[in-house]
Amino acid sequence: TFPKELGVVESMLVENPIWKERTFDVGVLTGKQALEMGCSGPIARASGIPWDLRKSNPYSCYEEFDFQIPVGSRGDVYDRFLVRIAEMKESVKIIQQALDGLPEGPWNTSDRKIAPPPRHELDTSMESLIHHFKLYTEGFHPPVGEAYAGIEGSKGELGFYVISDGSNRPYRWHERPSSFMNLKSLEVLAVGRLLADVIAIIGSIDIVLGEIDR
């Protein structure tokens, strides 16, 4: 049902003169500005930056899927809208390919030191009960070192930097929230515009308040 409903939104808005008047050439962000401010995701792509971690640094099994990176040219509110519409279509393609290629067999690891044992094992296995207890009270003891990993979230690059001292608690933990990075562009996008335009601009940035409340 999703592609059909998405088609309704497209037919209602893409060529709607009122929608275009409120979004076309509003909140323009150039590719150079997007890079300088560390923007990522649909905002950067709408400004002509074809950057997507699923393509540039594939993780999970994204390299096995056939999908495109929608890119805009003007970097305005309208382009950010079009990019998201196109990305929803690409997401449907990815989901369909994933469903078609879904393998048989267990979906989780059987290593009880990594993943909690299933509930039914706890009634019959003392070893499983111990694993369950240690995982939830102690957690993991990763080796000493540091690591950064980023994924392509719906708002852009969502990254995590962790330093381990060998204990079960991170020595340092820092998150790179895409909404926090993208929101920095608001001043550039809103300069010289009407106050009413700010509503459309913030909507096109598509922030999650939990990522910027710090």
* Per-residue pLDDT tens over the stretch 84-97: 999 999 999 999 99
pLDDT digits (tens, 9 = 90+) for 97-117: 999 999 899 888 888 888 899
Give pTM, 2 decimals: 0.86
Higher pLDDT, 36 or 113: 36
Q: Which long-range contacts (CB under 8 A, 24 or more apart) does 46-49 make?
A: 46/71, 46/72, 46/74, 46/75, 46/76, 46/79, 46/80, 46/82, 46/83, 47/72, 47/75, 47/79, 48/72, 48/73, 48/75
pLDDT digits (tens, 9 = 90+) for 133-147: 999 998 888 999 999
pLDDT digits (tens, 9 = 90+) for 45-93: 999 999 999 999 999 999 999 999 999 999 999 999 999 999 999 999 9
By the 8 A CB rule, do 49 and 71 touch?
yes
Q: At residue 214, does pLDDT exceed 80?
A: no
Two structure tokens written together for 123: 């009634």
CA distance 55 to 83: 16
Q: At residue 23, does pLDDT exceed 90?
A: yes
